[in-house]
Amino acid sequence: MEAPVNAARLILSACLTLLFIPSAHAQTPAIKVTLLGTAGPEYFPDRLGISTLVEANGRKLLFDVGRSANQRLYESRVNPKDITHIFLTHLHNDHYEGLPELWMTPWFLLGRDHGFDLWGPEGSEAMIAGMRAMFGHDLEKRVNKFNPIANLEIKVHALSEGVVFEDGGVKVTAFPVEHDDGNPAYGYRVDYAGHSVVLSGDTTLNENVVKYGTKADLVIHNVIAFSERLSQLPEMKGVLAKLTTPEQAAEVFTRAAPKLAVFSHIVTKELNGAKGLDEIMARTRAAGYGGPLTMGQDRMTIAVGDTVAVLPPRSLDDLPDLDSKLQVFP
């Protein structure tokens, strides 16, 4: 019976996705979301570190900077040097290990002419100071009139619950979540032009995600699923408790009722590949969530406006070189 059930699931998933693909004449979305990387810390061939780009009214807001976020920006036709605002959910390494690359490489290679504003939990200031120390050689020897040190400035903003950024009608609100040894940990809500996108960050089932995600256009949520064998191991129970199981996600989505729910930061062990993703979707459905749901994919974009439209990753064909200060990205 397993094969027909899987086939039915695949058809259902495809139908739900197709419902959200807009016509070629769709209006420019109020908010455009690009899932740059959708993995947790695990290595997968097709998923890189967690990082999500939210674009609204010309602002490019980057939420977390996981492994190879720079590469995914480039592949998404976004010049990494254009990132100006970075929001970290917490200080587990898989959420900011791409930061040094985003900080240094566009500075010396792509002619970035500005620093960053960065929002992060307690400890972010020390982390940035440590990063500056780590790259002390470059800061001392590589600085010149083409690569001024001013363009490496990072202004760190402390996080607490409430509005942390507001510019051009784009508002970012931070809210605390629960991530065990990842605390203090935050989720975020972005509002613009009457539309909203909520990122759970790394958390177990948390009332704040329900509160801020209620009636949002889009909720992007972490998920964790292990094989039955691993789920039974006492040492794994603590790991599972740090993040959100498909059953817990179903509860969040059912109560918040967003126009679309998307999984990103997908943590699986012994459930890799399509089988694991299929199981996550099936368990979420079996737990009672029947609304719109999509499994995130690296470089997938979601256009949020009067409709919420999922667009598959763009082809990597015809990507131009991006290795010169003179390069104008199309």
Binding positions for Zn ion, rule: CB under 5 A: 40, 92, 94, 202
Which is nearer to Zn ion, 201 or 305 (by Cβ)?
Answer: 201
Rg (CA), the chain: 20
- Looking at the Cβ atoms of 62 and 309, the one nearer to Zn ion is 62
Which residue, 41 or 291, is less far from Zn ion as judged by CB?
Answer: 41
Task: State both tokens at 272.
Answer: 């890799």
Residues in the chain: 330
CB 170 within 8 A of CB 190: yes
Q: How far is the CB of 92 from Zn ion (least distance, A)?
A: 5
Question: What letter represents residue 268's amino acid?
Answer: T
Pairing of strands 260-269, 293-295: parallel
Cα 78 to its chain centre, rounded Å, is 15
Q: Please, what is the minimum distance in Å from the beta carbon of residue 267 to Zn ion?
A: 7
Separation CA 190–CA 55 (nearest Å): 10
- Shortest Å, Cβ 72 to Zn ion: 16
Residue 120 one-letter amino acid: G
Nearer to Zn ion, 52 or 151 (CB): 52
* Closer Cβ to Zn ion, 75 or 94, answer by number: 94
Q: How far is the CB of 85 from Zn ion (least distance, A)?
A: 20
Cβ atoms of residues 295 and 249 within 8 Å: no
Closest CA to 277 of 112, 47, 1, 49: 47
Given the complex with Zn ion, which of 106 and 246 has the nearer CB atom?
246
Q: How far is the CB of 106 from Zn ion (least distance, A)?
A: 24
Give me the least distance between CB of 137 and Zn ion, in Å please.
Answer: 30
What is the token pair recorded at 186? 């935050």
- E strands of 96-227, at which residues? 116-120, 154-158, 162-167, 170-177, 185-192, 195-199, 218-226
Of the pair 94, 178, the CB lying nearest Zn ion is at 94
In the bound state with Zn ion, the residue whose beta carbon lies nearer, of 66 and 213, is: 66
Least gap, CB of 20 to Zn ion (angstroms) = 26
Specify the 3-state DSSP secondary structure of 16: helix
Residue 121 or 292 having the CB closest to Zn ion: 121
Tokens representing 64? 């977390």
- The Cα 48–Cα 266 span in angstroms is 10
Least Å from the CB of residue 206 to Zn ion: 15
The DSSP call for residue 40 is -
Residue 187 · residue 199 · CB < 8 Å: yes
CB of 93 to Zn ion, least distance (A): 9
Instruction: Answer whether 302's CB lies under 8 Å from 292's CB.
Output: no
